[in-house]
A = this chain, B = another copy of it.
Amino acid sequence: MGENDESEIIEHHDDEEMEKRRTSRNHSHSFLESVTSSEDKNGHSSTQSSHRLLAYSDALISIIATVMILPVAHTKFQDDEELKESIQILLTTKVAVYLMTFLIVSVAWAAHVRLFQVIERIDDTLALLNLACMMLITFLPYTFSLMATFPDNFLGILLFCACVIVIGLIQAAIVLYGFSHPFLLNNHIQMSQNQAYYKQNILKVIMRVPIMCFFASIFSFIFFQLSYVLLAIIIFLPYISQSLKWIRNKAIGGQVDESPDSMLFYTYHPIEPLSKERVEAFSDGVYAIVATLLILDICENNVPDPSVVKKQFDNNLNAALQEYGPEYLAYFGSFATVGLLWFVHHSLFLHVTKVTRLMGLFNTFSLACVGGLPLAYQLTQEFPRGSRNELEAVQVSCVIIFFAGLFQLAMWVVALFTERETLHPYVRYGGREHTFMLAKLSLYPCVALGSFFLTCILSRFSAQIFHMMEIGVPFAFLLLRLLVRVMLALLKWLFCPGRPDVDCSPVEEEDSQLPINDIVT
């Protein structure tokens, strides 16, 4: 075993190497480094890299944002009433509140991202403060449920606002703690001369939302509709303040930024980067919980009761389970759709180097649509086969998938506008990888749109068409490289048939050095 042991020791050293690299990537000193580096030696030995704390927070926030669909999805429909009517009620109140709360939670998440771009190292106190913050964020869905059930009662709004205000106070406490222990701050601020200015500016930005919520809670006593308006403003505050600033700058005529230095972390400039890693982690969380929400329902509702099996099916479990056939199909279809939307997202982010704020917004919209999928699947399996309601449920599913795909495409288009900063060179406009990516991104919108129109025409086969679409799409992805190749060859042949050696498609210089992978089959 001697050789084996040796290799293990070598691996161990490798691990330490990797550890160092990882933490230096996070702009932060690892525990090891903070211990061995001379400047941190005096009393800072408990400083830790914030990497895992952030991953855990991302997981919690993404689950919470998505779980909010459940009270909506579990709304009971009467089979005899027209779905159209109940859909209208649903769309106007519950779905609106779901979307609003998803956006509010993602605003809280964005604030968390910005906060921990300032605080880059943590210690035990900060970890515990962050957990307290998380506890209140996970309580938000309940206040949301109250608001959805009693939209005209002030108590829901009041509880919601109370949570947001306490979250804001905890975040302010984290900032104050961070500035009183400067070795926890990021290096840029740590070395800056005007730390006091930073502190003031950051606190001002953080306290904006709690103060708005404070007013919303006061208005909830007087005129509760105004509270909802205020809460809606909170979501779009970043974009409103950004556009106001932009208009002011245009009106005055110059870039009158008081301190460009301070803008690095606390502006709402549309091309200000979010941490790409955290956007990925948050998205992964949403996709993962959506993929598993359905099996959760299936585990709870589709296990037949032993007494029922005994009475109705003569103890024949097989016969009892056959009743649930459509549910199983819906589950696999749902998982395939969510999995492939994740796959497209994953492919997209492989090519992206930086996430601008506008891309982050489109990503949130796309995720909010993905979060709506459990509702769609609940609807498709709720109604009897071939009924008019089922048709409409399938159409709702198509619309949700269409928009989820469309917002992903929008992210890509936005990235292309600032491609020098946001994309790797080899996928920039015109290359073959670019074409392939575009095909991947447009596959789901196209398929969803296609099946939507097909269900309109062939109304009798709507569910079949929908499930065929879902099962067919993964194979379409496998064939996509082949398809793109054939298409490009076809284009080439159509437009310049005489010169087979000249590449007519708008291929950039990088592309010629990047032959596409052999066809995947």
Interface residues of chain A, those whose CB is within 8 Å of chain B, are 1, 3-4, 7-9, 11-12, 15-16, 18-19, 21-22, 24-25, 31-32, 35, 41-49, 52-53, 55-56, 59-60, 63-64, 67-68, 70-71, 74, 123-125, 127-128, 131-132, 134-135, 138-139, 141-142, 145-146, 149-150, 153, 155, 255, 257, 260-261, 263-264, 269, 271-273, 276, 280-281, 284-285, 287-289, 291-292, 295-296, 298-300, 302-304, 306, 309, 317-318, 321, 331-332, 335-336, 339-340, 342-343, 346-347, 349-351, 353-354, 421, 424, 426, 433, 474, 477-478, 481, 513-518, 520
Contact = CB atoms under 8 A, between A and B. Distances in A.
Nearest to A304: B149
Interface class of chain A by DSSP = helix
A288 B60 contact: yes
A150 B55 CA distance: 39
Given A43-B515, A135-B339, A141-B299, 17 more contacts: A3-B261, A12-B421, A15-B354, A22-B22, A22-B25, A25-B25, A35-B426, A43-B516, A45-B426, A45-B433, A123-B517, A128-B477, A131-B336, A134-B291, A135-B335, A138-B295, A139-B295
Contacts of A141: 295, 299
A4 B135 contact: no
Contacts of A150: 306, 309, 317
A256 to B, nearest CB: 10
Contacts of A149: 303-304, 306
Contact of A45 (B134, B261, B303, B515): B515
A64 B295 contact: yes
A299 B70 contact: yes
A291 B52 contact: no
A517 to B, nearest CB: 4
Contacts of A142: 295, 298-299, 302-303
Given A59-B59, A517-B44, A134 B295 contact: no
Contacts of A346: 52-53, 56, 127
Nearest to A249: B1
B295 A67 contact: yes
A163 to B, nearest CB: 12
A284 B517 contact: no
Nearest to A340: B131
Given A146-B303, A260-B3, A45 B514 contact: yes
30 contacts: A1-B255, A3-B261, A4-B264, A15-B276, A15-B353, A16-B353, A21-B21, A22-B25, A41-B513, A41-B514, A44-B517, A45-B514, A46-B481, A48-B350, A56-B284, A56-B288, A59-B59, A60-B292, A63-B292, A64-B295, A71-B299, A74-B300, A123-B520, A124-B481, A128-B474, A128-B477, A131-B342, A139-B295, A141-B299, A153-B317
Contact of A291 (B48, B138, B513, B517): B138
Contacts of A127: 343, 346
Contacts of A155: 317-318, 321
Nearest to A321: B155
A228 B402 CA distance: 45
A269 B520 CA distance: 37
Given A15-B353, A281-B55, A343-B128, A516 B298 contact: no
A355 B70 CA distance: 37
Contacts of A124: 343, 347, 477-478, 481, 520
A56 B257 CA distance: 41
Given A44-B517, A155-B317, A284-B52, A421 B9 contact: yes
Nearest to A513: B41
